[in-house]
Amino acid sequence: METTLFENMAIYEIILLLLGCLLFLISLVGIVIGMIRNQSLKKYLPLLFIAIVMIGFPSIKKLSLGNDFISIEKDSNAFMNDPSNQDLLTKLADNYKKINPDELKTPQDLTSYAKMAMLLGDNDVALKYVNIALEIDKNYGPAVDIKNQIESNLAIKQLTMEPENDTLRSSVTRHLQILENGQSRNTYQSLKIAEGHLLTGNTASAKVEADKVIAKNPNQKQAQQIIQLAGVEEKIKKAKESPENKSELRYAVQNFKEISSNTHQKAYNSAIIAKAYKVLGDQKTSEKYKDSVKFFLAKPVYKH
């Protein structure tokens, strides 16, 4: 594929380059004339320096942006292995605000930005820029992987809003199969897979995936919550099969609420508890938790 001189350059960068070339030529002509007339050349040196800076600006900027993304990619990967680390989350959010994504031209930078947006909960934005990366190179592996994760996140979000929807449940199951076929998984991916299995009612797989996280980090609160909620989901199924005996479900719900009262809440927590109260016949409390699902889904992962 042919490339052009101005490929991947913004309009203002092209203008700077052309003006820099013009100023460089003027400076050279001035220097030649000065040498012929035996004049001082000092007055041309600032012009020559400015011309070189203008010509080199796109490369200087690209180098600076490249260094930024090396740091961003390192922080993103570290956060995916430790998604409860608020310091890393703050660093990602600060970098996210600094970058103008419309200036990104390579699939590598676009994918890094998409990953950062995904980790901050901006999955729609993440999908937009990973799609642009794949338009440039449809076979770019990291972009394909991140797109699979983003689409899975969006499917899980829809199911969280409508946990009884069989079509959405099937969609999440398909996305989870794609993620589980990956060669390796970090903590972020394992937690998302566990969350998806929990919402589809596959409590055994949810527990297995959460246990993998706890094996690496015994204090991982989100994995612990998923295991507890899997127990609540199992009691929901039991209560549906035997409506006359709901005491175990009532106890499981109360126990989860007491244990999780001081921990960070997630939308899927409220979705499962809302379902439990519906089975218990407490429609008012069920609706209250459904409202909190909407609240948590609308709440950004990190407040910019």
C-alpha pair distances (Å), 228 with each of 101, 115, 253: 40, 29, 9
pLDDT, residue 98, reads 83
Three-state DSSP state, 40: coil
For position 246, what pLDDT does the model report?
85
Measure CA of the first residue to CA of the last residue in the chain; give whole Å: 41
CA distance 237 to 160: 18
Distances (CA, A) of 3 to 7, 66, 111, 235: 7, 21, 22, 62
> Looking at residue 34, what is its pLDDT?
74
pLDDT value of position 210: 96
The predicted structure's pLDDT at residue 128: 96
The segments of the chain whose pLDDT lies below 50 read 1-3, 5, 63-64, 304
Annotate 95-153 with three-state secondary structure.
HHHHCCHHHCCCHHHHHHHHHHHHHCCCHHHHHHHHHHHHHHCCCCHHHHHHHHHHHHH
The pLDDT tens digits for 244-278 are 778 888 888 888 877 666 556 789 999 999 999 99
Write the single-letter amino acid at 266: K
Torsion of the alpha carbons at 288, 294, 296 and 300, rounded to the nearest 10:
-160
Q: What is the pLDDT of residue 9?
A: 57
DSSP of 271-303: HHHHHHHHHTT-HHHHHHHHHHHHHHHHS-SS-
Residue 260: per-residue pLDDT: 66
